[in-house]
C-alpha cells in the first residue's frame, strides 16, 4: 500500500503539470484554445492506446514488473521534454506527453486493481480513495512547482509577437520553452530512482495475486467483460468523469484571467489552481472514512449532483462567486474516480485485469472532452463552455443511483460498505 501511494502521487503530480503547460505553450506558440488543448488530447489519448497492452503486460510480467516498466517509460517521456524545449517544437512536446502518459497507463492498470484487491471487497472503495488522496496531493503540489519554475518568465504580448521576424520568433520560443528543462530533468531522475527502488523491493505475496499475476490464481477464466453492464456503465462513468475534471482544470488559469471573473495574471492564477486540486485531496481523505459508513453508489450520486450545481453556478455568476464555485468542484470530484472504479470492477473475479484495462482505456475522456470544450470555448467563451462538465456530472449521478440499488453488492455482507 505504501509503494502504491508513492506511485499514485507521482502520476497525479505529472498529470496536473499539464494545467501549467497549457497556458505556457498556448502563449509561446500563439495557439487558440482548441489547439492548446491538444496537450490534454495527446496525454489522455495515450491511455486509450496503451491500456490493453498494459493489461496484457500485467498478465505476462505481473503487477510489480509492470510498475517498474511504467516508471522507466515515464522517465523516457520526461527526458523528451529537453529536446522539445531546445528546439521549441510543439509536435515534439506532444510526443513527449504521449510517451509519458504511456508509462502512467501501465501504473494505472497495475496499481488501481492492486489496491482494490489488497483487502476485503467491502472496504475497496475506502482503500482506493485513500490511495487516490495521495494522487491528489501530487496534483496539489504540482501547480506551485510548475507555476514557480515554468511560468516565471515575462512573456511577449500577441502584438509584439506579430512584429518578430521568423528567426527572432524562434529564438523567443526557445527561450520561453527552456523553462521546462530543469523541472523535467529532475522528474526524470526521480522516476528512474523510483523504478530502481521498486525493482529491488521484495513485495509480499497475497492470496489475490500470489506472485502478482492475476492469471495465476484462476487459469480457466471464462466469460467476457462485455457481458457485465455495471463495468460498461462504470467505464462510461470514468470517461465522463476524467473528461469533466480535466476540462475544468485545463481552463482554470485562463478562466481566472477573464476580466469578468478575476482578471488575474497567469502566475497569480496558477496559485489558485492548487486549491481546486487540494479540495480533491482533502475530500479523498474524508471520503476514505465516509465510504466505510455510506455505500459508494449513494456517495457518488450525491457528490456528482453537488458538482453539477457548482458548475452551473460558475457559469451564471462573476467575480468571487464564479471563482469560489468552480474551485469547490474539486472537493466533490474527490471520491468519484475511486468510487466509479470499484463499482465497475466489483464482482468481476478473474476478469478483473481485463476490466481494469477497459476502465483505464476510458480515461481517454480526458483527451476528447477537453478538446471539445476547447473548440466550444473558441465559439461561445470559456465560461459557457463549462456546460460540457455539467452534463458529465449528471450522468455520474445517475450511475451512482443505479449502482446503489445493485443487490449483489449492497445486500451481500462481503460488500456492505461498513468498517
Dihedral over Cα of 403, 404, 408, 414: its sign? positive
The per-residue pLDDT for 338 is 82
> For residue 318, what pLDDT is reported?
92
Distance CA(177)–CA(92), nearest Å, equals 12
What is the pLDDT, as a whole number, of residue 98? Answer: 94
Q: Model-level pTM?
A: 0.74
CA distances from 211 to 17, 52, 73, 202 (A): 34, 21, 23, 11
The topology (CATH level 3) of 2-205+223-415 is Growth Hormone; Chain: A; (1.20.1250)
3-state secondary structure the chain: CHHHHHHHHHHHHHHHHHHHHHHHHHHHCCCCHHHHCHHHHHHHHHHHHHHHHHHHHHHHHHHHHHHHHHHHHHHHHHHCHHHHHHHCCHHHHHHHHHHHHHHHHHHHHHHHHHHHCCCCHHHHHHHHHHHHHHHHHHHHHHHHHHHHHCCCCCCCCHHHHHHCCHHHHHHHHHHHHHHHHHHHHHHHHHHHHHHHHHHHCCCCCCCCCCCCCHHHHCCCCCCCHHHCHHHHHHHHHHHHHHHHHHHHHHHHHHHHCCCCCCCCCHHHHHCCHHHHHHHHHHHHHHHHHHCCCCCHHHHHHHHHHHHHHHHHHHHHCCHHHHHHHHHHHHHHHCCHHHHHHHHHHCCCHHHHHHHHHHHHHHHHHHHHHHHHHHHHHHHHCHHHHCHHHHHHHHHHHHHHHHHHCCHHHHCCHHHCCCC
Q: What is the pLDDT along the chain (419 residues), one digit of tens a residue?
A: 677 778 888 888 888 888 888 888 888 888 888 888 899 899 988 888 888 888 788 778 777 788 889 999 999 999 999 999 999 899 999 999 999 999 998 888 777 666 666 665 556 566 666 777 787 788 788 878 877 777 766 666 666 666 777 788 788 788 888 888 888 999 999 999 989 988 887 765 544 443 333 333 333 345 677 888 899 999 999 999 999 998 998 899 889 999 999 898 887 888 888 888 888 888 877 887 787 788 889 999 999 999 999 999 999 999 999 999 999 999 999 889 888 988 888 877 777 767 877 888 898 898 899 989 999 999 999 999 999 999 999 999 999 999 988 765 554 433 433 32
Q: Sketch the domain layout of the chain as residue ranges.
A: 2-205+223-415
pLDDT at 191: 92
343 Cβ neighbours under 8 A, 6+ residues apart: 125, 230, 234, 237, 296, 297, 300, 399, 403, 406, 409
pLDDT at 205: 54
Nearest to 385 by CA among 371, 399, 397, 395: 371
Residue 57: the pLDDT is 85
pLDDT at res. 169: 79
Residue 196 is predicted with a pLDDT of: 92
The pLDDT value given to residue 319: 92
The answer to whether 24 and 10 are in contact (CB under 8 A) is: no
Amino acid at each position: 500500500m505504501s509503494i502504491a501511494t508513492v506511485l499514485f502521487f507521482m502520476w497525479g503530480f505529472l498529470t496536473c503539470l499539464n494545467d501549467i503547460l497549457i497556458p505556457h505553450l498556448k502563449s509561446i506558440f500563439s495557439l487558440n484554445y482548441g489547439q492548446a488543448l491538444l496537450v490534454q488530447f495527446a496525454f489522455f489519448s495515450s491511455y486509450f492506446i496503451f491500456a490493453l497492452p498494459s493489461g496484457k503486460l500485467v498478465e505476462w510480467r505481473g503487477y510489480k514488473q509492470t510498475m517498474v516498466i511504467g516508471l522507466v517509460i515515464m522517465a523516457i517521456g520526461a527526458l523528451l521534454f529537453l529536446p522539445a524545449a531546445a528546439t521549441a517544437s510543439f509536435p515534439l512536446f506532444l510526443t513527449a506527453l504521449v510517451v509519458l502518459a504511456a508509462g502512467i497507463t501501465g501504473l494505472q492498470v497495475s496499481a488501481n486493481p492492486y489496491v482494490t484487491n489488497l483487502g476485503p471487497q467491502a472496504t475497496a472503495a475506502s482503500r482506493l480513495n485513500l490511495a487516490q488522496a495521495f494522487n491528489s496531493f501530487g496534483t496539489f503540489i504540482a501547480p506551485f512547482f510548475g507555476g514557480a519554475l515554468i511560468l516565471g518568465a515575462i512573456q511577449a504580448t500577441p502584438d509584439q509577437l506579430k512584429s518578430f521576424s521568423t528567426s527572432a520568433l524562434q529564438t523567443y520560443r526557445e527561450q520561453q520553452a527552456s523553462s521546462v528543462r530543469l523541472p523535467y530533468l529532475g522528474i526524470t531522475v526521480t522516476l528512474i530512482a523510483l523504478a530502481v527502488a521498486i525493482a529491488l523491493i521484495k513485495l509480499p505475496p497475497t492470496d489475490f495475486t500470489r506472485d502478482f499475476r492475476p492469471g495465476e490464481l484462476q487459469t480457466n477464466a471464462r466469460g467476457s467483460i462485455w457481458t457485465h453492464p455495471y463495468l460498461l456503465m462504470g467505464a462510461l462513468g470514468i470517461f465522463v468523469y476524467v473528461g469533466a475534471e480535466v476540462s475544468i482544470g485545463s481552463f482554470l488559469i485562463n478562466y481566472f484571467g477573464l476580466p469578468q471573473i478575476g482578471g488575474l495574471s497567469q502566475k497569480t492564477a496558477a496559485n489558485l489552481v492548487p486549491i481546486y486540486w487540494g479540495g480533491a485531496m482533502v475530500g479523498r481523505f474524508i471520503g476514505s472514512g465516509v465510504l466505510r459508513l455510506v455505500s459508494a453508489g449513494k456517495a457518488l450520486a450525491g457528490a456528482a449532483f453537488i458538482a453539477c450545481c457548482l458548475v452551473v453556478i460558475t457559469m451564471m455568476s462573476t467575480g468571487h462567486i464564479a471563482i469560489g464555485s468552480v474551485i469547490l468542484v474539486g472537493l466533490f470530484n474527490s471520491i468519484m474516480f475511486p468510487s466509479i472504479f470499484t463499482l465497475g470492477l466489483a464482482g468481476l473475479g478473474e476478469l478483473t485485469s481485463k476490466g481494469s484495462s477497459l476502465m483505464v482505456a476510458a480515461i481517454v475522456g480526458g483527451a476528447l472532452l477537453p478538446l471539445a470544450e476547447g473548440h466550444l470555448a473558441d465559439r461561445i467563451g470559456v465560461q459557457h463552455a463549462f456546460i460540457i462538465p455539467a452534463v458529465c456530472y449528471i450522468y455520474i449521478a445517475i450511475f451512482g443511483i443505479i449502482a446503489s440499488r445493485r443487490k449483489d453488492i449492497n445486500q451481500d455482507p462481503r460488500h456492505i460498505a461498513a468498517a
